[in-house]
Amino acid sequence: MFHDIWKTFLGFLQGFGAMSLFFLRLLQYTPAVLVTRFRLVFYQVYNAGALSIVIIMVCGLFVGGVLGLQAYSNLERFNAEDTTGIFAGFALIKEIGPVITALLFAGRAGTALASEIGLMKATDQLSAMEMMAVDPLRYVAVPRFLGGVISVPLLTAIFTTIGLLGSHLVAVELLGVDVGAYWQQLQNALDMEDVMEGIYKSITFGIIASLLAVWEGYNSVPTAEGVGRATTRTVVITAIAVLIFDFMITAWIL
């Protein structure tokens, strides 16, 4: 039994090492790709963004709304409903915006990336590029990785903004919190550091979600079943990694 656990652990280390190497190679090619293939990167930002934006907006609105509801119903008991904006705003900016955006991105764009790359592999498109003396890492992997890395922080900003709007709608328009108090309280309480925390997180999560999606696709078993498995793994592993990193970043900043 210990032998099995040991083997699993070694396998995990091996996979982690291989992925780190893959990550370094992506970074190594990044400057050249940004200069010579910016069009591809731009297209991938558009692609990943366009895939995710509607779901990001809808979810942002409802998550903001529910935060407004929860904050209000608790604060009301202490006659502190004027501070609803603080609670909803802090939660959105520091935690929920970056985390949920990353999870939604993984579910929508990450799966699409992984299955797209996996299918390209299964249909020999990556080998064909190799044979045409074009490095698929540069042509396929890096632009998609960068597209994700750029999109996630932008999507997080959109999610958070719409979320604030959603909690405003619930707290102010529905439950009658004073509109001046709602925004004034949030503005007074919010520091630049809080906003930066959200930004750091969204950048980290963007890297994690994009790296895992591209990695899973690139290393999928080139069969219909293998591509399906890679797609599922993308969502599961991204979710776990994002939540672990969220805890670590929060603990580190506090």
Partner 1 sequence: MTLSDTLIELRDVDFSRGDRPIFRDLNLTIRSGEVTAIMGPSGTGKTTLLQLITRQLSPDSGQVFVAGDDIARYGISELYRMRQRMGMLFQNGALLTDMSVFENVAFPLREHTKLGERLIRNVVLLKLQAVGLRGAAGLMPSELSGGMARRVALARAIVMDPALLIYDEPFVGLDPISMGVIAKLIRQLNDALGITSIVVSHDVKEIGEVADYSYVIADGKVAASGRPAQLRNEPSELVRQFMLGLADGPVAFHYDAPDIEEQFIGSKPD
Contact (CB, 8 A) for 57 and 64: no
Report how far Cα 73 is from the mean position of its chain's Cα atoms: 30
Q: How far is CA 176 from CA 21, 167, 170, 188, 240, in A?
A: 55, 12, 8, 21, 38
* Least distance in angstroms from the C-beta of 133 to partner 1: 4
Q: Which is nearer to partner 1, 40 or 208 (CB)?
A: 40
Q: Which is nearer to partner 1, 117 or 241 (CB)?
A: 117
Q: 186-189: long-range contacts (C-beta < 8 A, 24 or more apart)?
A: 186/85, 186/86, 186/89, 189/86, 189/89, 189/90
Contact (CB, 8 A) for 179 and 82: no
Side chain identity, residue 25: R
* Least distance in angstroms from the C-beta of 95 to partner 1: 37
Dihedral of CA atoms 121, 47, 38, 228 in degrees, nearest 10, equals -20
3-class state of residue 219 by DSSP: coil
Query: Token pair of 49, please?
Result: 């963004």
* Least distance in angstroms from the C-beta of 124 to partner 1: 4
Contact (CB, 8 A) for 121 and 222: yes
Q: Which is nearer to partner 1, 70 or 125 (CB)?
A: 125
Q: Which is nearer to partner 1, 76 or 130 (CB)?
A: 130
Q: Which is nearer to partner 1, 138 or 201 (CB)?
A: 138
Residue position matching structure tokens 């045409």:
132
Contact (CB, 8 A) for 96 and 71: no
Using CB under 8 A as the criterion, which residues of the chain lie in contact with partner 1 when the complex forms?
119-120, 123-125, 127-134
Helix pair angle (38-75, 2-36), 10° resolution: 120
Q: Which is nearer to partner 1, 14 or 123 (CB)?
A: 123
Q: Which is nearer to partner 1, 130 or 173 (CB)?
A: 130
Diameter of the chain measured on Cα atoms: 70
